Structure 1
């Protein structure tokens, strides 16, 4: 067995074991939800961190930092004690899980998987969780074996077909649109959650959380949660947020394989193949 294959096998096996062991934990994390709680959900590396920074600052008028966000818009399971941010008395909670949450209002952020896979690969390299070749990681990604949340297309379709999705309580946004018109998309999310905010505050939140400021915040962040397991800090947690870099970084065969494997979901979302 080659070193590359060993790296891929180790990643796949660890993710399979983690997915099985965490099922009862994920179920328990959803205890204690209120009907008025709202969710911000995405597949990993699709923009939930950035959206949380934008939302927190726009909704509160307070500076958003990594340490603040862990408590203010927490990951599912850490919501106890989180502040009320949306009417009437709802908290905002973020998640990468595919677990039913009923008809609660949910903003789902989707990103072109051809960009997701590149960001996801760099994230694993940053944390020292994968040291093989990208092609090996590529195959594992398509099979949903690079994280405990499953395949990208299954994740997207779960949420689009969820109770919130069927009932009109799911507000889907594209990461690419968020990059192109940050203020406009953010305003739409805030309106969806029913919290009036003036445009001046929205504009300030956007200005205070652009790429340069986000990287400054990363540099000043405490070494907890995401940053505790960093092995290669020269690889940024806050990426460049590129929308079309995959056209140069993926080879033609990889692009074609992603189109074949993910084509139905890409078309459902309106992405070009």
Structure 2
């Protein structure tokens, strides 16, 4: 949600009008902090990490309301992201099963028109990650960019770098134990694989999962982010 999109068409009485920004931004801040304090009273001045992939379109408002907070911009190759969602929402996929359990219709665009599905989710990636990217640029406090691929290649080293750039002290022994506990290798094999929440954890698996047309669609739509975070050129230039 971006209030500026509506301010052009709204008068001075619009609830998110620019002249009342200090009011509604303070409300956002209180909403987040009051909710956090109610849910995690034991923190007592500690750190609270908010993982919000689905709400990243609001990252700008959240970071502006909490300027003293640190921000982690977690990026993953959009081709792998789209391939993962394509698998999750096909027949038998974990997202499809979840919808079925709730009594909702299980027919998926991933099955009926996979190319349209790829186009839709590439646009969603551009919107969500683009919003998070803009929030990251605007944030004047502590911040760090972390790529999923770097986490997979060197989880402990990447986590140490993240904590360091955020200025957060960490017990390295405890961090190493946490990395080991949650590693891909320690997930039971029966919980991994096609259609499951834990699928591949393999960077560039999109080369096997997407058709050439689908790859080109994702690359065209997400080009601004691909060029910044994965500047190796389109798939056909990579061999």
TM class, shorter-chain normalised?
0.5 to 0.7
How much has 1:263 moved relative to structure 2? 1.3
Cα RMSD, aligned residues only: 3.5
Give 2:94's aligned residue. Answer: 126
CA distance in 2, matches of 1:130, 1:121: 13
Give 1:252's aligned residue. Answer: 212
Normalization by structure 2: what TM-score?
0.64
Rate the CA distance shift 1:248–1:238 in 2: closer, same or farther, 3 A: closer
How much has 1:82 moved relative to structure 2? 2.2
CA distance in 2, matches of 1:162, 1:235: 33
How much has 1:242 moved relative to structure 2? 1.3
CA distance in 2, matches of 1:80, 1:161: 30
**Which has the greater radius of gyration?**
2
Gaps of 5+ in 2: 1-24, 97-105, 235-239
Give 2:167's aligned residue. Answer: 194
Trace 1:121-270 onto structure 2 (pairs within 5 A).
121-124=86-89, 125-128=93-96, 129-133=106-110, 136-144=113-121, 151-162=124-135, 165-215=138-188, 235-270=195-230
Asked if the contact 2:79/2:206 (under 8 Å) is kept, the reply is yes
How much has 1:95 moved relative to structure 2? 0.8
How much has 1:174 moved relative to structure 2? 0.6
CA distance in 2, matches of 1:251, 1:139: 13
CA distance in 1, matches of 2:177, 2:190: 16
Gaps of 5+ in 1: 1-26, 36-76, 220-232
Residues 141-166 of structure 1: per-residue CA shift (max 9 Å, x gap): 43349xxxx71012122112116644
Q: Which structure has the highest helix share of the two?
A: 2
Q: Aligned to 1:108, what secondary structure does the other structure show? A: strand
CA distance in 1, matches of 2:209, 2:180: 29
Normalization by structure 1: what TM-score?
0.57
CA distance in 1, matches of 2:190, 2:170: 24
Give 2:48's aligned residue. Answer: 91
Give 1:32's aligned residue. Answer: 31
Give 1:227's aligned residue. Answer: none
